[in-house]
Structure 1
Amino acid sequence: MSYQSVFKADLFQGQTFIVTGGGSGIGRCTAHELAALGAKVALVGRKSEKVETVKAEILEDGGIASAHVCDIREEEPVKATVKAIIAEHGGLNGLVNNAGGQFPSPLAGINQKGWETVVRTNLTGGFLMAREAYNQALSKTGGSIVNIVADMWGGMPGMGHSGAARAGMVNFTQTAAVEWAAAGVRVNAVAPGWIASSGMDNYPEHMRQWIRSLGDNVPLKRMGTESEISAAICFLLSPGAAFINGDCLRIDGGASQGGRVWPFPKARNNEPFNGFHRAVTPKVLSED
């Protein structure tokens, strides 16, 4: 089997894209779709085992990929990693700023170290990667950057550190879109809602039942798939999005649209899209 993308097979033929956090979840799925569309994919992550595994998957499927270990929160390693990727692949056409992470906690229980760690991961790291992609390559050739954020409109209770960082990344997206447009660089963001992805298995036991109920709070009455996020990312990277710049696309089944006082009846005529041939259902959703 191969990735069943909705886009034409040679859409990104010969182009190079960096995908941070490419060793799991949405990043892994996006890397596979980009490779299936002809792109050379540079997987960036903190753990060698994860990015090497995804690299092997892509190579097995007939794609082109490289694996790079880097802590995106550290300036010098980011500079060196982007430089190495450009040298290895002969250029750079775009960046998917997907790496991120957080832990559940009310604001009153977050210490300074925890706050700063999440902000550095979800905001500072994305800035460093985007800046280096722009300075080292895209400012000369043009290209596209897609920043992955989250559904933080109306606050993000229980994860206020991540909500603040993601909101900052949306504002960074808007600013970069203006400053870098003259060089032919478009900068957009994608805000996934509740997506059935491997990250769900990282949360503590007491959150399992809550995670399983998330789909009931979506007007479409289900969670999204990794493929539904990847498709949006690929569109924003594509020539079809040539006049989309500084925007943030919410992919959440309508959950962020103020429906909290509106009852959600049983949904119909709504089938999930899942083109990822290697997709794995999170354990928290597959276990009884």
Structure 2
Amino acid sequence: MAPSRYDSIYKSSLLAGKVVLVTGGGTGIGRCIAHELASLSCTVVIAARRLSPLLKTQEEIGAAGYEGRCDVLHPLDIRDHEQCKKAIQDVVRKWGRLDGLVNNAGGQFPSPAEKISPKGWRSVVDLNLTGTFFMAQAAYEGYMKENGGSIVNVIVDMWNGWYWVAHSAAARAGVYNLTRTLAQEWTPHSGVRINCVAPGAIIGAGQSNYPPSVQKKVIESFSYQNPSGRLGTESEVSSAIVFLLTPGASYINGACINVDGGQSIRQGPIFDTVFSPDSKLPIYHGFGSPSPDDDLGMGPGFRELFGRMAAIKPPGDAEKGKSNL
């Protein structure tokens, strides 16, 4: 049984004729972006190191019957400079253009800073910082320098440091500065725009990458420790990324959109004020109500939390029990 069709907030013809490459496009936020782009009549090319998630997402998109389509590029290790160059060449050779690049691939593992080995440090920095640069450089040199385009780099909420993830926090901060630098170097000569999106704590497949002890803390306490009182959804991140790929964002360059519920401005409890788990902010989830066939890779605890988030009604909503999906 195929998952629900993606119901984007944007008009279905928005990206007709465009080609966008999404790294890490087989799972989590990347999968969600791929669905939304295809629903907007875009040709989306998804790439990653593992083939099976890419094929699964491609199959989902094909079954959904969108106006757009999904192509798979494999393998792609963004830490390999030659693979990055070849990936761009392959996309341009097959589709004749490259209008957008979403640098979504990345990852990390939790560890106290003093316990991070040299190998672990280099692995995470290479993946999140060096790989992002290699892909951006390949897209620029391989097509966008002469034709323009849009690059969106996905980072994280690392503005006040990132406890137990020093390697990734340092790398993502580097990507933010890299984005601002490239916007100054490249845009005046090419018309390429380069921006960032910084997700906060997002509920979805990405949480399954962390140990059960970390997942438990997220569910029980961290899930509401921001001014919005809840976690974000993959769709809420995807909407911001897609916007930056559209003509509506034509004068946004070298910027970062924080999709974090206000987490980046959080200062913790002030006097007797604490954030409440009783959120008043409804969620947006492009797939509608999750079914067993579209569970976003969540474990039982996160599915229960997602159900509570999906039941949030805006203040004053007279229709009690009405879903916000």
Quick check: 1:44–1:51 contact (8 Å CA) kept in 2?
yes
- Shifted more, 63-72 versus 130-139: the winner is 63-72
- Residues 1:199 and 2:215 aligned together: no
- Residues 1:93 and 2:99 aligned together: yes
Q: What is aligned with 1:249?
A: 257
**How does 1:95-110 map onto structure 2 within 5 Å?**
95-110=101-116
Give the TM-score normalised by structure 2. 0.85
1:261 is displaced (CA, Å) by 2.8
Match of 1:225 among 212, 233, 250: 233
1:220 is displaced (CA, Å) by 1.1
Q: What is aligned with 2:145?
A: 139
For 1:247 and 1:265, the matched residues in 2 are separated by 30
1:197 is displaced (CA, Å) by 1.6
For 1:214 and 1:21, the matched residues in 2 are separated by 26
SS at 1:18 equivalent: strand
Q: What is aligned with 2:20?
A: 17
SS at 1:189 equivalent: strand
Q: What is aligned with 1:152?
A: 158
AA matched with 1:216: Y
Please give the per-residue CA displacement for 1:155-179, whole angstroms capped at 9, x wherever unaligned: 1110000000000000010011111
AA matched with 1:67: V
For 1:149 and 1:95, the matched residues in 2 are separated by 14
Please give the per-residue CA displacement for 1:52-82, whole angstroms capped at 9, x wherever unaligned: 1111111222331111121110011111111
Q: What is aligned with 2:87?
A: 81
1:276 is displaced (CA, Å) by 2.6
1:208 is displaced (CA, Å) by 2.4
1:268 is displaced (CA, Å) by 5.1
Q: What is aligned with 1:163?
A: 169
SS at 1:256 equivalent: helix
Q: What is aligned with 1:123?
A: 129
RMSD: 1.5
Structure 1: gaps (5+ residues): none
Q: What is aligned with 1:35?
A: 38
Give the 3 Å change call, closer, same or farther, for CA 35–83 of structure 1 in structure 2. Answer: same
Q: What is aligned with 1:66?
A: 71
For 2:247 and 2:265, the matched residues in 1 are separated by 29
Please say which structure displays the higher CA radius of gyration: 2
For 1:170 and 1:30, the matched residues in 2 are separated by 20
1:280 is displaced (CA, Å) by 2.1
1:209 is displaced (CA, Å) by 1.5
Quick check: 1:73–1:125 contact (8 Å CA) kept in 2?
yes
1:287 is displaced (CA, Å) by 6.3
Number of residue pairs the alignment of both structures matches: 288
Match of 1:56 among 59, 63, 66: 59
SS at 2:264 equivalent: coil
Structure 2: gaps (5+ residues): 289-293, 306-325
Give the TM-score normalised by structure 1. 0.96
For 2:170 and 2:71, the matched residues in 1 are separated by 32
Quick check: 2:100–2:151 contact (8 Å CA) kept in 1?
yes
Quick check: 1:29–1:279 contact (8 Å CA) kept in 2?
no
For 2:208 and 2:112, the matched residues in 1 are separated by 20
- Shifted more, 214-223 versus 9-18: the winner is 214-223
- Shifted more, 92-101 versus 75-84: the winner is 75-84
For 2:61 and 2:277, the matched residues in 1 are separated by 38
Quick check: 2:78–2:132 contact (8 Å CA) kept in 1?
yes
- Residues 1:282 and 2:298 aligned together: yes
Quick check: 2:228–2:280 contact (8 Å CA) kept in 1?
no
AA matched with 2:262: G
For 1:42 and 1:150, the matched residues in 2 are separated by 23
1:214 is displaced (CA, Å) by 1.8
Quick check: 1:19–1:41 contact (8 Å CA) kept in 2?
yes
1:258 is displaced (CA, Å) by 3.0
